[in-house]
Structures are given as C-alpha cells and as structure tokens.
Amino acid sequence: GLVAIRSNRGIHVSMPADGTEDDVATAALLLNCAGVQRHLFPKTYHIVVSKGFIAYLFFLTVFVFAYTIILYYAPEKGSADLGISFEHLLLFDVVYCSICIFIILMQVPRKIVRENDKLLIVFCCRTRVVPIESLIEIRIIRRRKCCDRQGRLCLYPWKCFWGYPTNFERNIIVVTDSCCNNYFFCVHEMEEFMADNWPAPHDLEDAMDQKRKVPDPAVLGSL
C-alpha cells in the first residue's frame, strides 16, 4: 500500500515495490490519521500471543529441567558429589523458570490504547503514557528484518526497547525521542491498527497529487 512520511519539507508519499517494505508513520501523520479524522479514539488494541511465543516459553522450561536431569545423572556425578538432593534441584528449577517467565511476561503489554494525542501502553503493573508529539515514528516491521544475530534492534542500536516479540511475523516498534522509553509489541488487530493510525487512502492520493503539482525547486532554479 501507500506510505506517506511528513518531514519539514512537506509530505513524502511512496509505494513499496513489494510486500516486504516497512510501513512507517511519523508524529505528524499520527496526529492527522484516519482515526482522528473519523473520531474513533480512544480505542483499545489487544496484544496477540502467538503459538510460537508459547512454544518458546515451553522450550525454555524444558531446556532448564532437561539440563538439570542430565547434569544430575551424568557419569561421575551423584547426590554425594553435588551435595544436594534431586528434589531440591527440581524446586530450584521451578523457582528459576517461574522468575524467568514472570520477567518475560512483565515486559509484554496487556493492551494498547490510542487517544488523539497520546498512546497508552498498559503493562501488568503500570501504564506508560507516550505523547504523540514525542514520537519519531511507529514502524510495522517484520521480526526477521528488525534484529541482528544477537537479537538487538539494528535499526536503533543505541535505544532501549521495552516489550517482547509475541509474534514472529509482523511487530510494531514505537520509537520516541527518548533513549529508554521505546516499545516493541504486536497487536491482534494489526490491519485495523494500520487503518486507524495511518492516513486514509484518499488523503495519500491527495498528497501525491499535491506533490505532482508543486514544481521542483531545482527545476525552477534552472529556468
């Protein structure tokens, strides 16, 4: 679909060559998006938890318990060498896995609430208020493109992101003018989120027509 980016020089509109391009919305576009024009906000979007994310948590748990069992029953290793009973080791694994899963789930927002002038990112124990004017961009990006081999967001290596990739297809990154208050999540209503928070198609077409009508300054200068 069409992608429009507003800068100090006006609105820039482009059409991706294929379906692999990112969809990007800046603060100026978000303040004048279709949802604002149609008075749809405040509106709630729910976080999606995919089967892949559940499988990841399951694999993490199995790995911890399997490693403990292999270590305990390995040759030359016994309860006398370890100095601890097998039941205590299992109890430690339960506590350890519970803490790991708790930390992961605490990073996953419960829902996203869009209002005209701000985003509310609701976590289990807190709600983060993100003014739209503080946003650099909201980007819809594919999981495999946004991270390097170490799992870091290679588009913004010097920013800290809160959140967790609960879907391995498309995710949303919210980039602000702050180093630490940036967010990473996936909503169940992805297409609806894009339709509400991006300009309406006719607005993009008008922007394209306006861009065609404005003479290129370089051309005017050469006349």
Q: Residue 75, class by beta-carbon neighbours within 10 Å (0-12 exposed, 13-18 middle, 19+ buried)?
A: exposed
Q: State pLDDT tens for residues 91-110.
A: 888 999 999 899 888 888 99
Q: Report CA-CA distances (Å) from 38 to 33, 112, 189, 201, 210.
A: 9, 19, 18, 13, 22
Count CA within 13 A, CB hemisphere, residue 95.
6
User: Smallest Cα–Cα separation from 139: which of 164, 177, 172, 161?
Assistant: 172
Q: Residue 45's pLDDT is what?
A: 94
Q: Are 190 and 203 in contact (CB under 8 A)?
A: no
The more confident residue out of 198 and 148 is 198
Please report, as a single letter, which amino acid is at residue 62: V
Q: Are 33 and 55 in contact (CB under 8 A)?
A: no
Q: Residue 114's pLDDT is what?
A: 94
Q: State pLDDT tens for residues 66-95.
A: 888 887 776 555 545 556 677 888 888 899
**Who's near 189: CB < 8 A, 6+ residues apart?**
45, 46
Q: Residue 30, class by beta-carbon neighbours within 10 Å (0-12 exposed, 13-18 middle, 19+ buried)?
A: buried
Q: Residue 104's pLDDT is what?
A: 87
| pLDDT-based confidence at residue 223 (cuts at 50, 70, 90) | low
User: Smallest Cα–Cα separation from 199: which of 37, 8, 21, 10?
Assistant: 37
The more confident residue out of 215 and 85 is 85
Taking the whole predicted model, whether its pTM rises above 0.75 is answered as: no
Alpha helices in the chain (DSSP H): 27-31, 34-37, 51-73, 79-82, 86-106, 143-146, 190-197, 201-213, 217-222
Beta-bridge mates of residue 139 = 24, 173
| pLDDT-based confidence at residue 20 (cuts at 50, 70, 90) | low
Residue 22 has pLDDT above 60, yes or no: yes
Q: Residue 202's pLDDT is what?
A: 62
- The average confidence (pLDDT) of the chain is 76
| pLDDT-based confidence at residue 132 (cuts at 50, 70, 90) | very high
User: Smallest Cα–Cα separation from 116: which of 37, 11, 6, 47?
Assistant: 37
